Amino acid sequence: MNKLLLLILLSHLIVCQGFSQSGDLRITYDANQGVSGLAGANKVYMYSGAVTSGPSGQWEWIVGSPNLDDGIGLMDPLGSGLWTICIDPMSYYSSGVAGPIPGGATIYAIDLFFRNETGTAFGYNFSGSYMIIDMTTNPPSSNFPGLTLSNCAVGSPEVQLKDFVMNNFPNPLKTSTQITFNLKEDARKASITLFDMLGQPVKKFVWNDLKPGITKVNWNGDNDKGTALKNGIYFYTLEVDGVKMMSKRMVISR
């Protein structure tokens, strides 16, 4: 009986740690549910804001644009109208125009809706309003069934990831950013190369003998010589065993 109780307590502790305020959160959106014009969209962005003033607050730490195709809040397609994004809530919402969230603050909720790349089509809940993620529950929850919330490393049992998912946050990079990609198969060699607007490589990360799962690398915006790069738009490409898998865009704005 004591062993069973200990296992239950340990399991509860692991779940709590996995969804801490400073941990990863995967948000998966089903564009086939709610009031949505995003079925069949080529790109889907998450426009969202964290709430720290209290449970009744709204849209306080906003990240993203309502109509720009700038890569901020861009989600990864999973097929069949499903889109996913992985964020660290505290870091992600500290990267917005309002500046960093004060230390010790609690994120009570995340307000959000979804849009296409031009801001001409949107995804809302069944009432035609924005959705709310309750960050006070463990794990976080939402009463909108079109949202699936999970830990990035674990993923969602309802959603099978593609061969990879790649993103970085915060974006724009102010002091540092974390690039994350997910592999479902072994890789003898994987690399991420960052390029400037002229297509010149400026930074490269290389891994050997990677196993399936999440790989993360922190980058402070320097080149291979350790010199800080200028503000601007950069691109990063994931290559696995000699095959270029995906390229994405990020912004440096110090």
For residue range 10-29, list pLDDT tens digits in order. 334 333 334 545 567 889 99
Q: What angle do CA 236, 66, 40 make, to 5 degrees?
A: 75
What six digits make up the tokens of 170?
Answer: 């915060």
Asked if the structure places residue 141 within a domain, the reply is yes
Domain final position from 150, 183, 200 = 150
Q: Let me know if residue 213 belongs to a domain.
A: yes
Which of 150, 178, 212 is the last residue before a domain boundary? 150
Domain membership flag for residue 130 = yes
Q: Are residues 94 and 201 in the same domain?
A: no
Query: Above 60 in pLDDT, residue 222?
Result: yes
Q: Which amino acid is at 223?
A: N
Mean pLDDT comparison of 58-72, 77-91, 179-193, 216-230, highest-scoring range: 216-230
Domain of 187, in residue numbers: 166-252
- Whether 116 and 192 map to the same domain: the answer is no
Residue 51 lies in a domain: yes
Q: What are the backbone angles phi and psi of residue 9, rounded to the nearest 5°?
A: -65, -40
Residue 190 lies in a domain: yes
* Helix residue ranges, H only, 39-151: 89-93
Closest by Cα among 62, 54, 4, 19 to 149: 19
In percent, how much of the chain has pLDDT > 90? 41
Furthest-apart CA pair in the chain: how many Å?
Answer: 65
Position 244 confidence tier, pLDDT thresholds 50, 70, 90: confident
Whether the pLDDT of residue 135 is over 60: the answer is yes
34 pLDDT higher than 80 = yes
Is 12 inside a domain boundary? Answer: no
- 133 and 31 both lie in a single domain: yes
What burial letters (b/e) apply to 70-80, b meaning 16+ CB within 10 Å? bbbbbbbbbee
In a domain, 16, yes or no: no
Q: Residue 232, SS3?
A: strand
For the chain, how many structural domains are there in total? 2
Q: Who's near 99: CB < 8 A, 6+ residues apart? A: none
pLDDT at 38: 95
Check whether 142 has a pLDDT greater than 80: yes
The angle subtended at Cα 8 by Cα 213 and Cα 25, nearest 5°, is 35
Whether residue 29 is found in the same domain as residue 146:
yes
- Most confident of the ranges 21-25, 82-86, 217-221: 217-221
Give the three-class secondary structure for 50. Answer: strand
In a domain, 7, yes or no: no
Which residues, other chains included, contact 74 with Cβ-Cβ below 8 Å and sequence gap of 6+?
Answer: 43, 44, 45, 85, 167, 248
Indicate the residue among 90, 125, 150 that finishes a domain: 150
Is the confidence at residue 206, as pLDDT, over 90?
yes
| 31, two tokens | 């564009």
Residues 246, 128 share a domain: no
Compute the average pLDDT of residues 89-100.
82
Cα separation of 30 and 81, whole Å? Answer: 6
Edge-to-edge strand ranges of the sheet holding 201-210? 201-210, 187-195, 232-240, 243-252
> Once rounded to an integer, what is the mean pLDDT over residues 159-181?
72
